[in-house]
Amino acid sequence: MKIVLLKIMLLAIISTCQAQDLFKPLPQVESYNENIVNLGKELFYDKLLSKNQDISCYSCHYNYGADTKQFSVGHEGNIGNMNTPSVFNLPYNLGYFWNGRSKTLKEQMVSGPLINNKEMASSKELIEERLTTSGKYQKLFKKAYNRNPSFDRMLDAIVEYEKTLISINSKFDKYLRNEIELDENEKNGMELFISYGCVSCHNGINIGGNSYQKFGSVIEYKEKRASQWQDRFSITNRPEDINVYKVPSLRNVEMTSPYFHDGSVEKLTDAIYTMAYFNIGVMLEENEINDIESFLKTLTGEIPKNFENKND
């Protein structure tokens, strides 16, 4: 009996050490310029930035920083091409958009939502005109930058605000900091996640977001490739980059359905089964799926204090 208990304790120690090597908790405190961040928040929620003044950044990022639709609805009812990722924990990604075509958050803002005709359909000139003629924004930009409003400062302020949207203190983060223990199902799910190799793509501080991988790397994903799927091939034109996407962060994954670049899966258990089959070549048992789901739910963190979650 003592030997069995010792083995269980040893396995628990090993799994904890593995987790601490593979994953890192989100930082609990970050310094920032309050005036710039406050301006960025005001802009993030303001529909003034869109062409018809009917869409804000928040319009597509209202639920844990993501959307609840398969594809977001933009300018004049246009439907987007790809499922909307969360804006939480963005500083820990290696690039932006599903294909990583933007390397910085500021570049992502310029090349994406603000001017995309399917999103906010605006322009640099229109945004600058509206900001410079707004008494409210003249005051806020002076307070933040001691300068008049400009398109570039607007981008900078929104980016600085987005950098504060960190979903700290998930159960898993507390576990990594040795503050609490996971329950039996959660720990078993973590061990399955590690042993089956899910962790080869989903690791680091964001539990993903730090590499590009093929959807269907072990078993071919025989989806007819639609022209709308903005994979790495759309950038490189290399055949091997077809169906290659940025690995999404799994933080808050239980809250950000639907899943995948095409938003084709609603249930987390179905997403777990699909990824295990196509990307590690394993058909998981139901109890394994349930335990992995229990583990993934420990990745749900606190909603940032300066974010107004619509589903609260």
Task: For residue 140, give the nearest of 122, 124, 158 by alpha carbon.
Answer: 158
Cα(280)–Cα(234) distance, rounded to whole angstroms? Answer: 25
d(CA 150, CA 148): 6
Smallest CA-to-CA distance from 193 within 9, 4, 23, 10 is with 23
Question: Residue 81, SS3?
Answer: coil
- Using alpha carbons only, what angle is made at residue 139 by residues 133 and 140, rounded to the nearest 5 degrees? 105
What is the pairing mode between strands 244-246 and 212-214? Answer: antiparallel
A 10 A CB-CB count for 5 gives 9
Nearest CA to 106 among 156, 173, 37, 41?
Answer: 156
Which tokens in the block code for residue 122?
């605006």
**How far apart are the C-alpha atoms of 43 and 146, rounded to whole Å?**
17
Rounded CA gap, 267 and 27, in Å?
A: 29
What residues are annotated to the active site? 119
The label of the residue with tokens 């300018």 reads: 75
